[in-house]
Amino acid sequence: MQSEFLKSLVILLSGTIIAQLVSYALTPIISRQFTPEEMGQFGIFQRWLIVISTIATARYEYSLPLPQKDEHSFQLYRLALFTSIITVTLTLIIGLTYGLFLNKSIDYFTWIILLVIGILGTVFYNIGTNWAIRNKQFKLINSSKIYNSLFMNFSRVGIGFLNWGKWGLIFSFLLGIIASSLNFFKEFFISRKKLNSQLSKKKMSFLAKNYKDFPLINLPHALSDTIRDLLIALIITDIFSEQIFGSFDFTYRMLRLPVMLIGLSLSQVLFNRIATFKRNGQKLMPTIKKIFLVLFFISFIPFSILFLFGEPIFVFIFGGNWAESGKLSEIMAPWLMFNFLISPLSILPIVLEKQRSFFTISLISSISQVLGFLFLPGFFKNNLDGTHHVFIIMSYSQVFFSIFILIYIFRIVRNHDLNILRTKYSK
């Protein structure tokens, strides 16, 4: 408990646990208020939002913990905000023009306006989180997570009684993201005053070039993941149905909760620590090995239980409408267990400046997922269990890719540590 790393992780985990306990406690109520089709419609909205939010900042928010000087980091903060305002404005103009040109209904225009509001909130949340990581303001991140969970989940329960369908899910999501962004909005003005920071186009341009790997490499990498998720959503909806996609999306979110509960908090603390280690020329492998082993031991039993008994567990907790989600949880448990193992470690290629090669690996994985969901259904169209066969093949193919990614991550960490030893001996 004397470890600063462990203390920071415990602080972050405490808020994350509270946030996720609220979500776990209310999800059995929410799942009985909304159908898989409605969850699927919301899932597509959320995927569009994530894709555009990823483009908006050009991934400069992930560079905030890296500069030596706070002033330089804050200029990158401004740069991420600037690119976001441009992206949001273009999204609004293109969306409204497209709707007017095709004479779309009022539902479409409502969808576009809510999408833009959600992008703004998500962007500020993402940038603010990384600024807080730099400054070790983990309690601030904590409170934002709790606000997000409380506002989103309790409003979702209340709105569920109004039978607003997908709109209720969207409104509650926006309420949560706006509530969680307010702390970061306030912190932005506090930091600007504290640093006496003036907008400097010259410094911003210099820093943009110095950290160009984030828009040039890390952004395409992130987009390969987010666009993959969007395309998979559209493909499953088109080839199977909104109900199947809703079941898949619900399963994916439930099995990714451990990533949100532990993996995200761990990666946020790890980002700060690994960046510090790299600046100070310290070895990384001992820390990475410990983290991986802990993640494996805490994930093996729960994912094994889901692998064996996912369907009855889902029906009991979430209701009869989610039996298909339970079946998919059994199929996807190995895939998402490896996803849980990789998630906190995926920041290592960013810190170690290996985004280019990591992007290539992730791009191959993303393409394989999209092509799999696009073409595999044709081979099982006459099979009653064809849907499940598709998901089985996709799940185990991603297990294979995950193992390969883990090998790659440990290899770049080993090479980093060897370079440190060579530098010391050369002196």
* pLDDT at residue 357, rounded to an integer: 84
Q: Which amino acid is at 290?
A: K
* pLDDT at residue 190, rounded to an integer: 84
* pLDDT at residue 34, rounded to an integer: 93
Count Cα atoms within 13 angstroms, Cβ side, for 323.
2
N-to-C CA span, the chain? 35
Tens-place pLDDT, residues 40-58: 999 999 999 999 999 999 9
Q: Give the percent of the chain with pLDDT over 70.
A: 92
Q: Give the percent of the chain with pLDDT over 90.
A: 45
The sign of the dihedral angle between the CA atoms of 234, 344, 407, 223 is positive
Tens-place pLDDT, residues 228-251: 999 999 999 998 888 999 999 999
Q: Which of 35-44, 116-125, 204-213 bottoms out in mean pLDDT, i.e. has the lowest? A: 204-213
Nearest C-alpha neighbor of 242 from the set 26, 32, 21, 34: 34
Answer yes or no: is pLDDT of 326 > 70: yes
Give CB contacts under 8 A, 24+ apart, made by 373-382: 373/232, 373/235, 373/236, 373/239, 374/235, 374/239, 377/239, 377/240
Tokens matching residue 412: 């770049």
* pLDDT at residue 5, rounded to an integer: 62
Distance separating alpha carbons of residues 62 and 12, to the nearest angstrom: 18
User: Burial of 157 by CB count in 10 Å (0-12 exposed, 13-18 middle, 19+ buried)?
Assistant: middle
Tokens matching residue 255: 């099995």
* pLDDT at residue 1, rounded to an integer: 45
Residue boundaries of the structural domains of the chain: 1-211, 213-427
* pLDDT at residue 104, rounded to an integer: 92
The sign of the dihedral angle between the CA atoms of 16, 144, 120, 106 is positive
With cut-offs at 50, 70 and 90, classify the pLDDT of residue 312.
very high
Distance separating alpha carbons of residues 114 and 380, to the nearest angstrom: 38
Distance separating alpha carbons of residues 199 and 312, to the nearest angstrom: 57
Q: Which of 208-217, 264-273, 352-361 bottoms out in mean pLDDT, i.e. has the lowest? A: 264-273
Nearest C-alpha neighbor of 44 from the set 231, 312, 295: 231
Q: Which helix (H) or strand (E) holds 18?
A: helix 4-33
Distance separating alpha carbons of residues 77 and 80, to the nearest angstrom: 5
Tens-place pLDDT, residues 89-138: 999 999 999 999 999 999 999 999 999 999 999 999 999 988 888 888 88
Distance separating alpha carbons of residues 230 and 227, to the nearest angstrom: 5
* pLDDT at residue 109, rounded to an integer: 95
What is the DSSP secondary-structure string of 261-321?
IIIHHHHHHHHHHHHHHHHHT---HHHHHHHHHHHHHHHHHHHHHHHHHHHHHHHHHH-GG
User: Burial of 258 by CB count in 10 Å (0-12 exposed, 13-18 middle, 19+ buried)?
Assistant: buried
Neighbours of 147 (CB within 10 A): 21
Answer yes or no: is pLDDT of 267 > 80: no
Average of pLDDT values for 374-389? Answer: 80
**pTM of the entire predicted model:** 0.81
